[in-house]
Amino acid sequence: MASEAQVLTPAVKKSSSSSTLVRVGKYTLVRLITLFVTVVIGVYLTILIANMGGYVDNIMRAEIQERITLQASQSQAWKNMDTETRQKFVEDKIALEVKRLGLDQPMVVRSFRYLFNALTLNLGRAQNMTSDSGSKTVRLIILERLPATLLLLGSANLILFFGSITIALSLSRRYGSFWDKLIITLSPTSAAPPWFYGIFLILIFAALLKIMPFGGLVDAPPPENRIEYLLSVLKHLVLPASALIISGLFLTIYNWRTFFLIYSSEDYVEMAKAKGLVSRDIERRYILRPTLPTIITNFALLLIGLWTGAIITETVFLWPGLGRTLFRAIGLYDIPVIVASTIIYAYLLAITVFLLDFLYALVDPRVKIGSGS
Amino acid sequence: MNTLRKTFQQISRYPSAVAGSIVIALLVIVAVFTMITIPYKEAIRLWRGGEEVWYQNPKYAAPSWVNLFNKKKLPVSFTIGDGDDAMTKTVEQRGEGTSRITTLYTFDYNYDGFPQELLLYFKTIYTEKQPFVSITWKTPDGRELRIADFGVDPTVTYRFSQDEKLKRRLGGGNAVEALFADPNSEELIPLKGTYQVVMLATAFEEGSDLNAEFVFHGQVFGLAGTDHQRRDLMVPLLWGVPIALAFGLVASLGTSVLTMIIAAIGAWYRGWVDELIQRVTEVNLVLPFLPILIMVGTFFSRSIWVILGVTILLSIFTGAIKGYRAIFLQVRESMYVEAARAYGASDIRIIFVYLIPRMIPLLIPGLVSSVPAFVFLEASLAVLGLGDPVLPTWGKIINDAQTNAALYQGYYYWILEPAVLLMITGLGFAMLGFALDRIFNPRLRGL
């Protein structure tokens, strides 16, 4: 309707183009600010939760006390000191460690410092964790694990995404066929999470058939040869990736199929069929085109979802990815690592949400930025 | 009433919905049965009791029904104690306060494997001088083997495999296997037939008595098997049912009802209330759900009720709230709401009496289909080692099995039993929810 009105009255169009710019500009600004405020609040809440309102501080202090006292009682060099000197030495060391972790400052002050550092992506140094290469820099700890997670989740999710869309498209054409009914029947199986299927896969292929490894990234010891190393990684990748794919497959196919079916019952699709267009053309021009915004949204969310890793699947398969690093960081009360993981996800999400608005307008001429959302 | 009957008629047309309903009904029956037959306190005692509760059970024993599928029959665990037919006890007074107590334990052994361990749990009564026992082993082919002779303390456990003297006398190998081994066979195979343990005891005081329980740790146990701490897995498997149902249902009910109420309030009042709800939803999207649950579990409390509360809290403000809001915004403009406003109904009355009931058909499918996600969430946290420290749940069994490398060691039953139950529960709710979605959602009905 709107486009029709524009065609009929070209004079109005000109005056509206400058107002479009203002509208888009204003919308962009408001959207950016709300997204930023959302990120700030979300990250600050995470920081507070990671600290449990000072509760974790007490745990950490007790832990430092215990560790250093134990160290003192076991150290040969300190044994020769008299009790008083040793006591003072221990207290100094505890104070130093408390200061290193920033526990001497109140939580409120520290929480804002964490927030500020996080927002400026100054990820800093981990408190208790070290990377496998021995670094305490949060950036390095994360970068070290990123490839493993990207490999696992990337391969699994991309196969899942494109595989399910392709299958769903062909199913929506064969509506009511045997395969269609099979997918509908199997879709409740997606109620179980990937790790659950992982356990079954390990049971069948690793324990019973002994053709696949139980877990890990490569054989131990890792092969010297680069090609052998790659093959070994691929072999270890098969089971966890299959677990991720199986868990999502049937429900994803079902959802896409239903979604495409709704669009294929539109009048213009019927019209195209009546015109005698090839089914491939109908799919591409009349079904995929209007559903493109949804497909893009899902794909974008998939991409940023890679960042979080799959905590439990990685744990079950002993896969050295980001999810397991985050889990380990929580176990070690390492707030910088937890916050770093959260802030990067929050930024990625905010940027994606922001860009998607513009992308919709690009791929779908019916969408106008900043009008009545 | 009519619509209810119509709904049931429609449900009965979907075979998956019927199957799902049957599974759910069975689970509810099992849950009620469990809570009546094994009261909560008893379940906790059996789950966390300690060695004195579990001593009768072997370690890592598969369930007895594996013998149905195996050609090689594995020995089933049993216990012979006071009052059992297999035990005969005779007391013979010898004068001067001395008495002679003869206890016979008789059992048939028709298995192809060897037991894990044989034990005698003694309970004796005496004041100064301890009774003295000598134990003899009688095999089906008539051999008599001397096991041990010793004075018995008030409570003492005699383990056949840990008696070094017995081991040496039997040739240095595994004593339990040597007791059952067929002497005429080249290979190490057990001799089948009736075995007997003869325990001759002499008590030296008036009123002194000796009782012993003979415990046979086979390789299979009960209907569910046992774990690394000799616990009967039947207890957590059965108790896992009510816990999983309670967690799943309370979480999904709490989440969907609260989501709906909040969406209705936002849509009704509009303005800043609506705006606030929208912003909170966006903030909630940024919060990492699973890591926060893990943090609460690690730092604060692993109690299932705390985790449940946090789960509900984090699941209210999700995408669903936007969907409900959009529909409420439409309903709010409808004529009957207008009429309600005209007769002067209060805001609260309109929200709870006019807006929300309208949405219940939409609520039910979502509620049922989200149950499996919560059931699996509880299991997932347990697999990460954050299960409730007190309650016996399916997730905890899987966690125990994982930490003891059950799959690697070949204790498949240990993981399969809880996993199959989880799968059945998840599928039951998912199938019903799926069908309900197609019934209540007219857009999907034809598809």
The H or E element containing residue A11 is: helix A10-51
Q: Which two tokens stand for residue A21?
A: 């710019």
Q: Which of residues 139-198 of A touch B (CB under 8 A)?
A: 175, 185, 187-193, 195-196
Q: Specify whether the CB–CB gap between B418 and B397 falls below 8 A.
A: yes
CATH number assigned to the domain with residue range B2-43+233-444, chosen from the 4 options 2.40.160.210, 1.10.645.10, 3.40.50.300, 1.10.3720.10: 1.10.3720.10
Let me know whether A164 and A262 are in one domain: yes
CB contact under 8 A, B288 and A345: yes
CA A305 to chain centre: 3
Residue A240: the pLDDT is: 93
All structural domains of chain B with their residue ranges: 2-43+233-444, 75-217
Residue A184: closest C-alpha in chain B: B434
The span from the CA of B382 to the CA of B398, in Å, is 8
pLDDT over threshold 60, residue B15? yes
Let me know whether A169 and A220 are in one domain: yes
Residue A342: closest C-alpha in chain B: B288
With cut-offs at 50, 70 and 90, classify the pLDDT of residue A7: very low
CATH class assigned to B75-217: mainly beta
Let me know whether A275 and A209 are in one domain: yes
* Span A280-305, average pLDDT: 83
Lowest model confidence (mean pLDDT) among B161-175, B241-255, B272-286: B161-175
DSSP state string for A265-320: TSHHHHHHHHHT--HHHIIIIIIIHHHHHHHHHHHHHHHHHHHH--HHHHHHTT--
Let me know whether A106 and A167 are in one domain: no
CA-CA-CA-CA torsion for A125, A129, A134, A139, nearest 10 degrees? Answer: -40
Residue B28: the pLDDT is: 94
> How many Cα atoms occupy the beta-carbon half-sphere of A336 within 13 Å?
21
The span from the CA of A125 to the CA of A141, in Å, is 9
* Span B43-52, average pLDDT: 79
Burial B301-340 (b: 16+ CB within 10 A, else e): ebebeebbbbbbebbbbeebbeebbebbeebbeeeebeeb
* Span A69-87, average pLDDT: 76
Q: Which residues of A touch B285 (CB under 8 A)?
A: 42, 349
Instruction: Give pLDDT tens digits for B388-439.
Output: 888 888 988 998 888 888 888 888 888 889 999 999 999 999 988 888 887 8
* Span B12-30, average pLDDT: 89
The span from the CA of B61 to the CA of B411, in Å, is 8
For residue A247, what is the domain's CATH number? 1.10.3720
Average pLDDT, chain B: 85
- Within a domain: A38: yes
Q: Is the peptide bond before A221 cis (omega within 30 degrees of 0)?
A: yes
pLDDT over threshold 50, residue A205? yes
With cut-offs at 50, 70 and 90, classify the pLDDT of residue A2: very low
Residue A51 structural domain:
18-119
Q: Which residues of A touch B433 (CB under 8 A)?
A: 188
Residue B308: the pLDDT is: 92
Let me know whether A39 and A108 are in one domain: yes
pLDDT over threshold 50, residue B214? yes
With cut-offs at 50, 70 and 90, classify the pLDDT of residue B374: very high
pLDDT over threshold 70, residue A252? yes
Residue A132: the pLDDT is: 78
Let me know whether A308 and A270 are in one domain: yes
Instruction: Give pLDDT tens digits for B93-109.
Output: 887 778 888 888 888 88
- Within a domain: A168: yes
Contacts 24+ apart (CB under 8 A), B143-152: B143/B183, B145/B170, B145/B179, B147/B197, B152/B122, B152/B124, B152/B201, B152/B210
* Span A343-353, average pLDDT: 86
Let me know whether A170 and A303 are in one domain: yes
CB contact under 8 A, A262 and B447: yes
Residue B32: the pLDDT is: 93
Q: Write the single-letter amino acid at B96.
A: E
Residue A12: the pLDDT is: 45
To test the contact with chain A by mutation, choose from B21, B252, B274, B283 the residue with the greatest count of A C-beta atoms within 10 A, namely B283
Percent of chain B with pLDDT over 90: 15
Task: Measure in Å the smallest separation between the Cα of B54 and chain A Cα atoms.
Answer: 28
- Within a domain: A314: yes
To test the contact with chain B by mutation, choose from A34, A294, A298, A311 the residue with the greatest count of B C-beta atoms within 10 A, namely A311
* Span A148-171, average pLDDT: 90
Instruction: Give pLDDT tens digits for A19-43.
Output: 778 888 888 888 889 888 888 988 8
Lowest model confidence (mean pLDDT) among A309-323, B167-181, B282-296, B360-374: B167-181
Let me know whether A113 and A201 are in one domain: no
- Within a domain: A348: no
A56 CB within 8 Å of a chain B CB = yes
Residue A371: the pLDDT is: 60
Residue B403: closest C-alpha in chain A: A316
Q: Kindly state the DSSP code that residue B82 receives in the 8-state scheme.
A: T
Percent of chain A with pLDDT over 70: 93
CB contact under 8 A, B426 and A41: no
**Number of folded domains that form chain A:** 2
With cut-offs at 50, 70 and 90, classify the pLDDT of residue A4: very low
Task: Measure in Å the smallest separation between the Cα of A87 and chain B Cα atoms.
Answer: 30
Task: Measure in Å the smallest separation between the Cα of B242 and chain A Cα atoms.
Answer: 19
Let me know whether A296 and A216 are in one domain: yes
pLDDT over threshold 50, residue A54? yes
How many of the other CB atoms lie within 10 Å of CB of B429?
29
Let me know whether A102 and A161 are in one domain: no
CB contact under 8 A, A312 and B376: no
With cut-offs at 50, 70 and 90, classify the pLDDT of residue B444: low
A346 CB within 8 Å of a chain B CB = yes
Let me know whether A159 and A63 are in one domain: no
